[in-house]
Chains A and B, each alone.
Chain A
């Protein structure tokens, strides 16, 4: 095992990147790792033999040696006959070794490794137990030399990103930094969503695509983890990387008939990804309707399928198109609608719109703030606010009528809501829930107050009614009527 030849084969870790054909037999060339000389002698050792550290044992003192030469030299000390094998002058037959692990690539003779030390290390690394652990980081190694080599460099060279993350490896640092940059620049670029939208709008025109280059690159960039990301800033330098295709615009699905504008190519593929929206039934929407987030007239025929929808022709049975649309399988197609959301999003008729989640939380808070300790009949809202209490909703008997604690809170609520200036309205109690009640108008009560009252204690509605009547009697309003039926307690007449 000449040292010179071992290094080349040591590099054959597990898989070899290139698959070159073996060179002609008569030339004594160094082969690619894992692609041995075809007429070399193949040696298959058992795992035990392979891993045996000291194969050559002195018969006198049982001392083991890794090399036969060393054993021979040792035997001289015992005054035993020794023979040092000289390197023979005749052409030495090349030996290649097989990995004993059957599932390994190098188990096959055509992929044998040429060096014994190499195969030993390979076997340890791939199929062996990792016994050596770096102290600084937690990386484990099976081969001693690997471990030593790592310990030397571990922690010595560090890369720090602006965001504070520390890296010991250059490649992971670059990957992170590309991504990190994306974050930084995205936040800087989040000024003009409509502009991005307009770029998408102008897809059909080449010139628009030109203008849209940068923003499409942004979109493109979002999905790119590769270190080559940094070069993508300028259009036209689009280098596909062998990264997972999920983040990879599908440039291999070129369905377009458009002139292959090189610098625009990445845009197209990313936009193709962007345009991977299913065919929609456009039956009910006119092409000119401004409703059209999904009005695909925005997205011209960059895919062969969308061409017809661009005319606003309704598409029935999108089954066929769907499959081709999704055959490119780009899961990273960005949701264009979200771009629109910033401009069209909250279409509130007037004033700020609370999200449903916020409304629910508010309702829950209003429920929990009630001091109704009605025992089994805790108010719906009270339980709604917390995790639902199983036992309170046994069956039937929810309406036990609350205790009389709610009155004060009602008063508070009414005051606060009156302050909010809701205009008085006809009592909804009378007309809506409490059909049994004749309506007088409750002058002082606004609709929300009544809603508030309802929120107070839904279950103990009888109590509400009672307290309402008290209130009304206090404020001199019309009597609600004798009907004391709680909301849910019985049938209304």
Chain B
């Protein structure tokens, strides 16, 4: 029975057709009813297929999941409308997850993959930074917080834990040079896993500082914090300097730890756990925060995704991430035309990779462990930091920036002194400032 009907769909799979078409995917001959689906219906159907498939995958029912994936691939497309794209990336993530249950196959399948050229990925990420205002808003807010915290300071040391965009620091250098009391002696330590990024940043920042005649030092540190721990000695924090630590989309990677085989975290619920957190305590991030606290920074600015993608179970993560990335894909849709290759690349290399990591990976490999601000606030308070409310002027600048994008989907709101940037009603990123507290 399966062969009769199934073969028609398997062999004349629509998959081959899709990469050729740049428009919405052409319906297949095997499923004429697909032609009849309006985009909204197709979108709804895709959602249900995705949910169904992921529950199958979570249950371990891989054969049925395979069939579900087949159907999804008949409808999804990275060049289609928003829901089709989302479905494409989520189904890819699910397929990746399935494949990992056969480690031999997985490794062989990926063994000859050539990683994307570093330059391309850097360019795509920069485009993402420029195109969508979220990261820029975070930069503006954190720069303002830094300028305010460093008022009157003569020696400023800035540590960027995930240094990717020189633009933020160029702007900060300009701000600091415009201070009434004159610029401080500025030192920036940047941490990143790619040497090229740090080289670019060194050039850009040194040029800016030189033009403005500011005493400036740049200290690059190449380390993949996902793989190895950051050696705090390398940061070379000196006494007497005012320290600001900036963490953009970085803290959550430290939550990666060994999960138990059922997909949960190895939580210690016993009374021995020192941290009164509602979430299982994660030793990695705790020790990191304690180490930062040990440097007694004047300011710590944390930017994180404002969504819980660190659930124990796949279905939780799927639900949350579907909503979250749907908002981001909608945002892309209203920013770039569908035919834009750059949009596709950004969706693939930035969003798609995050989705894949959230859905497909477990344990230490799952690094995109986004959590909401309230959990981060708890962790930071336990580690000895006190929240610094963002100033009116910082929020004002952020609002202006968003208005400059002439798209009324972007919203920003103040949540207990922290900023949350939203797309329509969906929170996307949060920016919060903290200070060392005894």
A residues with a Cβ closer than 8 A to B are: 14-15, 17, 103, 105, 179, 182-183, 186, 190, 193, 219, 222-223, 225, 242-248, 252-253, 276-281, 284-285, 291, 293-294, 316-319, 322-324, 326-335, 337-342, 344-351, 353-357, 359-360, 362-363, 366, 380-381, 383-384, 387-388, 390, 393, 395-399, 422-423, 425-426, 428, 430-433, 435-439, 446-448, 451, 454-455, 458-459, 481, 483, 487-488, 490-493
Contacts and interface: CB of A to CB of B under 8 A. Distances in A.
B386 interface: no
B43 A354 contact: yes
A388 B71 contact: no
Contacts of A317: 117, 119
Dominant secondary structure of chain B at its interface with chain A: helix
Contact of B330 (A319, A350, A356): A356
A444 B337 CA distance: 38
Given A334-B405, A448-B37, A383 B208 contact: no
Contacts of A347: 337-339
Contacts of A346: 333-334
B31 A432 contact: yes
Please name the 3 residue pairs, one residue from A and one from B, whose CB atoms are nearest each other, closest first: A329-B170, A425-B33, A245-B174
Contacts of B180: 15, 17
A179 B5 CA distance: 65
B120 A331 contact: no
Interface string B78-98: 000111001000000000000
Given A331-B139, A356-B326, 20 more contacts: A225-B397, A278-B130, A293-B342, A323-B166, A326-B204, A333-B130, A338-B405, A354-B43, A356-B43, A356-B86, A356-B330, A366-B44, A380-B52, A380-B55, A393-B58, A422-B41, A435-B1, A435-B2, A447-B36, A454-B52
B349 interface: no
Contacts of B173: 329
B39 interface: yes
A126 B415 CA distance: 31
B33 A426 contact: yes
A355 B333 contact: yes
B100 interface: no
B340 interface: yes
A244 B31 contact: no
Given A380-B55, A438-B1, A493-B1, A428 B83 contact: no
Contacts of A337: 131, 335-336
Contacts of B249: none
Contact of B319 (A179, A247, A277, A388): A388
A245 B178 contact: yes
Given A341-B334, A433-B67, A488 B61 contact: yes
Contact of A319 (B2, B122, B178, B333): B122
Among B24, B117, B123, B201, the one with the most A-chain Cβ atoms within 10 Å of its Cβ is: B123
12 contacts: A245-B171, A246-B143, A291-B337, A322-B126, A327-B204, A329-B173, A335-B335, A341-B335, A353-B82, A355-B82, A380-B51, A432-B71
B400 A225 contact: yes
Contact of B36 (A17, A294, A425, A483): A425
Interface string B33-67: 11011111101110110011001101111011001
A400 to B, nearest CB: 12
Dominant secondary structure of chain A at its interface with chain B: loop
A234 B438 CA distance: 53
Interface string B1-43: 1101110110000000000000110000011111011111101
A488 B68 CA distance: 9
Nearest to A335: B405
A383 B319 contact: yes
Contacts of B81: 348, 353
Contacts of A380: 48, 51-52, 55, 315
Given A356-B86, A395-B58, A447-B36, A318 B119 contact: yes
A70 to B, nearest CB: 37
Contacts of A359: 40, 43-44, 47, 83, 326
A244 B170 contact: no
Given A357-B330, A426-B32, A447 B41 contact: yes
A330 B316 CA distance: 39
Contacts of A277: 127, 130
Contacts of B126: 278, 322, 326
A318 B123 contact: yes
Nearest to A291: B339
A247 B397 contact: yes
Contacts of A426: 32-33
Given A396-B59, A433-B67, A491-B64, A334 B404 contact: yes
A19 to B, nearest CB: 10
Contact of A335 (B36, B131, B140): B131
A329 B6 CA distance: 57
B333 A278 contact: no
Contact of A448 (B41, B174, B312, B397): B41
A158 B426 CA distance: 38
Contact of A294 (B8, B48, B56, B342): B342
A329 B174 contact: yes
A278 to B, nearest CB: 5
Given A337-B335, A388-B320, A351 B39 contact: yes
A344 to B, nearest CB: 4
B207 interface: yes
B326 A349 contact: no
A369 B33 CA distance: 26
B36 A446 contact: yes
Contacts of A360: 47, 322-323, 326
A324 B200 CA distance: 9
Contacts of A330: 167, 171
Given A322-B123, A357-B327, A363 B5 contact: no
Contacts of A324: 204
B271 interface: no
Nearest to A321: B123
